[in-house]
Amino acid sequence: MNRIKNACALAGGLAVIGFAIGQAHAKPIVYPSKGQSPQQQQKDEGECYVWAKGNTGIDPAAVAAAPAPQQQTGPAVGGGERARGALRGAVVGGIIDGGDGAGKGAAVGVVAGGARARNNQKSQNAQAQQQAQSQKQDAINTFYRAQGACLEGRGYTIK
């Protein structure tokens, strides 16, 4: 049952990331609406690139190449969340066990509590990844809006 829940959570997370990427704006198309030559357009695009980079402080090549946030793993992640989850599971499992001395309920609780904490960490990692991707795309879109404004000011149509 936990595998099904994990698969559903992963699929949902991937769908959200896919939606966010699908909503991403591509580099604008530039049309020389005042009959600018290809050489003039290349010059203007280069100058507007430099202007937009200086004006926004964003270099789209650097933003796109920035590494994804490092995913956290291991038992020490989250200030001992796995250990606390395992302890809570052992306590609850021991209560359910009824104290027959075998400790089976506590053992099951340790495993279940640790697994729950691990799943929580995976979810947090997926959320951090999604947030980082969204921030990257927002920065690139800001750069493209600035570059487009510069090119429009020089007589180009931007789509």
In this prediction, residue 113 carries a pLDDT of 62
Residue 80 CA to residue 145 CA, distance in Å, equals 44
The total number of structural domains that make up the chain: 1
Q: Identify the domain containing residue 115 by its residue range.
A: 2-158
Residue 15 CA to residue 139 CA, distance in Å, equals 22
Query: Please, what is the average pLDDT of the chain?
Result: 75
Residue 34 CA to residue 16 CA, distance in Å, equals 41
In this prediction, residue 122 carries a pLDDT of 82
Nearest to 87 by CA among 75, 69, 99, 74: 75
In this prediction, residue 119 carries a pLDDT of 76
- Confidence (pTM): 0.57
